[in-house]
Chains A and B, each alone.
Chain A
Amino acid sequence: LAKTTQPISMDSYEGQEVNITCSHNNIATNDYITWYQQFPSQGPRFIIQGYKTKVTNEVASLFIPADRKSSTLSLPRVSLSDTAVYYCLVGDDGTASKLTFGTGTRLQVTL
């Protein structure tokens, strides 16, 4: 399984755009990149998934360069409620594959 590396923590002010980059140098051809968000004492929540280029949904954007060795989760205009741990996962988009989490990036948003 491709290993991921992401910053341990990040700080931001409310209203700013936050970009969290994840490195996955050994990503395989069949692997997709998925991001989950986790609030304290809750289970992780799916945010976004992509294979290449750019994916956007109502919550975030995911930028993936052509070599796919990294990806960037972009959160527009964060609010205090975006304070959470963000996990980057890489794995085969097979049927209900197991998820392999790293330690994630702890994002702290303040006023």
Chain B
Amino acid sequence: DAGVTQSPTHLIKTRGQQVTLRCSPKSGHDTVSWYQQALGQGPQFIFQYYEEEERQRGNFPDRFSGHQFPNYSSELNVNALLLGDSALYLCASSSQTYEQYFGPGTRLTVT
């Protein structure tokens, strides 16, 4: 049984560009959350998707948007990239429980 998978593993973008990150949840999970982790910091909650709707959102600007598909997979989109958006982006899935399963993350570097 595959766990949470994310793609791509690494990504380098230029300031002002747009990026899309992808996540496939663990089998049987219907809820996907996205987190941003800067170097040396704990993960920060971006938003959560359930039944293809954004259910909760953290303190992130509208440049960060997402989508959940009928198969529960999800995308994170970031527009107008800033240098400060450089971070590890983590996807976590769950099934109506507090325990969340994290993927390996996508390392985004903005130059």
Contact = CB atoms under 8 A, between A and B. Distances in A.
Dominant secondary structure at the A interface: loop
A71 to B, nearest CB: 15
Interface string B76-90: 000000000000101
Contacts, number: 67
Size bracket of the A interface: 20 to 34
A101 B101 contact: no
A13 interface: no
B33 A41 contact: no
Nearest 5 A/B pairs, CB to CB: A43-B102, A101-B42, A96-B31, A95-B96, A98-B45
Interface of B: 4, 31, 33, 35, 40-45, 48, 50, 55-56, 58, 88, 90-92, 94-105, 107
